[in-house]
Structure 1
Amino acid sequence: MTDLPLLSVRSITRRYGRHVGCEDVSFDLYPGEILAVVGESGSGKTTLLNCISCRMQPTAGTVSYRMRDGETRDLAALTEAERRFLMRTDWGFVHQNPADGLRMRVSAGANIGERMMAVGERHYGRIRASAEDWLSRVEIPGARIDDRPTAFSGGMRQRLQIARNLVTGPRLVFMDEPTGGLDVSVQARLLDLLRSLVAEMGLSAVVVTHDLAVARLLSHRMMVMRRGRVVEHGLTDRVLDDPQDAYTQLLVASILEV
C-alpha cells in the first residue's frame, strides 16, 4: 500500500427528510486495501456505499478519488460523462442481486465484452478470447459463453457479474452483500474465488455485509455502523476479537451463539 489514499471520504451525510441514512462518516481507503462495512439492516451501510460510489447524492460531505494520473479529484466536481466513464472502467460494482448488475437478455460473453468495449476494445476475436478467459477464471465452463444469464444458477450469475466487473482491470470495487441470497456451500465457493481474485489483482474494495464471517475472510479493516453512524472502526481481527463498543460486542456475541 502506498502512503496516498485511493479514496478519501469526509463527513458524508445523507438524510431523507427527517430520517438519517448515514451521518458524518469519514475514512480513507488505500490501494490494495479491503474495508468491510457491517451492521444490521437499516444501519446505513448501503446508503453510505451508494453515496461514495456516485449512485446517490450525499446531503453533505465530500468524496475524493485518486485518478490513474495521480491527481486526486472531488467526485462531485466531475462531469456526468467523467463519472460514467469512471464507473464503467476504473470502478466495479457487485450487486447483491446479480440481475441488477447484468444484462439478462444478452449472452454471458456479451456481458463481459460490453465492459471491454467501454474501454475502447473493438476486435471481436480479442473480446471473445478475453470473455472465455474470464469465464474460466470465475469457474464457468467456456462452453456456456453464448448462454444467457437467465439459464444460470444464482451462484453462476454472481460469478458472471464479478467477471464483468473485473475484465477492465478496475482499481476499486464496491460490493453490496455479494454473498446474500446464496446457500452456504455456494457462498463459501464464491468467497474463496473473491479472495483469490482480489489478492491476485491488488484490488481495493469496500464490502457491505451483515455477515461477520464474510468481513473476516475478505477485509483488512472493518467499520461497524448503527443508526447511520460509525460506532467502531479498526483492523478486522481486532474489532472481531476484542470489540470495544457495546453494539459491536452484541453483534459478535450473536454470531458466536449461533
Structure 2
Amino acid sequence: MSDTPLLKVRDLSKFYGSRIGCQNVSFELWPGEVLAIVGESGSGKTTLLNCLATRLAPSAGSVEYRMRDGQFRDLYRLSEAERRFLMRTDWGFVHQNPADGLRMTVSAGANVGERLMAIGDRHYGNIRATATDWLGRVEIASDRIDDQPRAFSGGMRQRLQIARNLVTNPRLVFMDEPTGGLDVSVQARLLDLLRGLVSDLGLAAIVVTHDLAVARLLSHRMMVMKDGHIVETGLTDRVLDDPQAPYTQLLVSSILQV
C-alpha cells in the first residue's frame, strides 16, 4: 500500500432542509483498501456514498482525491468535464440495480467496450478482444457477447456491470449494495468473484451494505452509520467481533439471532 491516501474526506455533511443525510463525516481511504459503510435503511450510508462519488453535492465539507499526477484535488472544485472524465476512467460505480449501470439496449460487448472507448481505445478488434476477456473473468460465456443485458439473469447483469466498471483499471470503485436483490447462492458467487477481482487488481473500494456478512467478506475496514453520523469505525473483524458502540452491538447481535 502507498503511504499517501487516495481519498481524504473532511467534515462532509449533507442536509435535506432540516433533515440530516450525513453529518461531519471524516476519514481517509488508502490505495488497495476496501471500506464498508454499514447501517440500517435510512442511516445515511447511500447519501454519503453519493456525495463521495460526486453524484450528490454536499452541504458542507470537502472530498479530496489524489489524481494520477499525485496532486490532491477537491472533487467539488473540478469542472463538470473533469469530473465526468474521472467517473469514466479512474472510477467505477456498481449500482444495486444493474439496469441503472448498464445500457440495456446494446450488447454485452458494447457495454464493456464503451468504457474502453472513453479512454481512447479505437481499435475494434482490440476492444472486442478485451471485452471477451473481461466477460470470461466475470463468468459470462464468450458466445453471449452480442446478447443484450435484458436477455441476462439478474446475477449475470450484475457481473456484466462489474466488467464494464473494471475494464479501464480504475483506482477507486463505489459499490451500492452490490449483492442486494439477488438469491443467496448467486450472492455468494458474486461476492467470491468481487473479492478476487478487488484483490487481484489492487483496487480501492467503498462498499455500502446493510449486510454484515458482505462487509466481513469484502472489506478491510468498516464505518457504522446511524442517523447520518458515524458511530463506530475500525478494522472490520474488530468491529464485528468486539463492537464498542451500543448501536453496533445491537446490529451484530440481531444478525447472530437470525
| TM range, smaller chain | over 0.9
Q: Specify the alignment match of 2:222 in structure 1.
A: 222
Q: Specify the alignment match of 1:66 in structure 2.
A: 66
Q: Say whether residues 1:10 and 2:10 are aligned partners.
A: yes
Deviations along 1:20-57, one digit per CA (max 9) or x if unpaired, are 10000010000000000000000000000000100000
| CA positional deviation for 1:185 | 0.1
Q: Say whether residues 1:93 and 2:66 are aligned partners.
A: no
| CA positional deviation for 1:11 | 0.5
Q: Say whether residues 1:247 and 2:247 are aligned partners.
A: yes
Q: Say whether residues 1:107 and 2:107 are aligned partners.
A: yes
Matches within 5 A, 1:175-194: 175-194=175-194
Matches within 5 A, 1:56-205: 56-205=56-205
One-letter amino acid of the structure 1 residue matched with residue 40 of structure 2 = E
Using structure 1 for the length normalisation, give the TM-score: 1.00
One-letter amino acid of the structure 2 residue matched with residue 124 of structure 1 = Y
Corresponding pairs, count: 258
One-letter amino acid of the structure 1 residue matched with residue 242 of structure 2 = D
SS in 2 for 1:208: strand
One-letter amino acid of the structure 2 residue matched with residue 235 of structure 1 = L
| CA positional deviation for 1:215 | 0.2
| CA positional deviation for 1:240 | 0.1
Runs (5+) with no aligned partner, structure 2? none
SS in 1 for 2:102: coil
One-letter amino acid of the structure 2 residue matched with residue 171 of structure 1 = R
SS in 2 for 1:54: coil
SS in 1 for 2:178: coil
| CA positional deviation for 1:3 | 1.4
Runs (5+) with no aligned partner, structure 1? none
| CA positional deviation for 1:2 | 1.4
Following TM superposition, the consecutive aligned residue runs of length 4 or more in structure 1 with deviations greater than 4 angstroms are none
Deviations along 1:172-206, one digit per CA (max 9) or x if unpaired, are 00000000000100000000000000000000000
Q: Please give the alpha-carbon distance, in whole angstroms, between the structure 2 residues aligned to 1:216 and 1:133.
A: 29
Using structure 2 for the length normalisation, give the TM-score: 1.00
Deviations along 1:227-256, one digit per CA (max 9) or x if unpaired, are 000000000000000000000000000110
Q: Please give the alpha-carbon distance, in whole angstroms, between the structure 1 residues aligned to 2:76 and 2:105.
A: 33
Q: Please give the alpha-carbon distance, in whole angstroms, between the structure 2 residues aligned to 1:229 and 1:3.
A: 28
Q: CA RMSD in A?
A: 0.3
| CA positional deviation for 1:108 | 0.2
Q: Please give the alpha-carbon distance, in whole angstroms, between the structure 2 residues aligned to 1:52 and 1:59.
A: 12
| CA positional deviation for 1:82 | 0.3
Identity %: 77
Q: Please give the alpha-carbon distance, in whole angstroms, between the structure 1 residues aligned to 2:74 and 2:18.
A: 27
| CA positional deviation for 1:76 | 1.1
Q: Say whether residues 1:211 and 2:216 are aligned partners.
A: no
Matches within 5 A, 1:23-34: 23-34=23-34
Q: Please give the alpha-carbon distance, in whole angstroms, between the structure 1 residues aligned to 2:136 and 2:182.
A: 21
SS in 2 for 1:155: helix
